[in-house]
Homo-oligomer: A and B are copies of this chain.
Amino acid sequence: MNTPRNQETLARALRKAGLRPTRQRLSLAQCLFANGDRHVTAEALYAEAVAAGYPVSLATVYNTLHQFTGAGLLRQVMVDTNRSYFDSNTSDHHHYFHEETGELVDIPSHAVTVGDLPNMPEGAEVSRVEVVVRVHQRAS
């Protein structure tokens, strides 16, 4: 789990990434990082920000999510072809994906062991190992 960050820490992180700490970015960062780890879609974050009284456009939410991802503050999780999920926990870990609800739950990385990887493509190096455990409601 990531440490909660305050406005100042965030502003510094943004500046370091070459991003001005604007009202919109700080508002979204507030939503994303103020209360522990989050898994959000762009639409969900947009709705949340608007509901919280932070006026932001959907375009800015998309821009910001990508910029934060580029800056290493977020990571994108590929689980659904229909929408993108962003994870505020950038440390090494994996996910459950609940097929019915679309909910994501973290799995600590130590639960999964990756052995020697065979037939690694020539000249390539690993940038990340992603494990998604798809679960569905047990029939009762």
Contacts and interface: CB of A to CB of B under 8 A. Distances in A.
Interface of A: 76, 78-81, 83-84, 96, 98-99, 103, 105-108, 110-121, 123-138, 140
Main secondary structure of the interface of A (DSSP, over half): strand
Given A103-B121, A119-B105, A114 B135 contact: no
A103 B123 CA distance: 14
A121 B134 contact: no
A133 B131 CA distance: 9
A98 B106 CA distance: 25
A40 to B, nearest CB: 14
A124 B137 contact: yes
A125 to B, nearest CB: 5
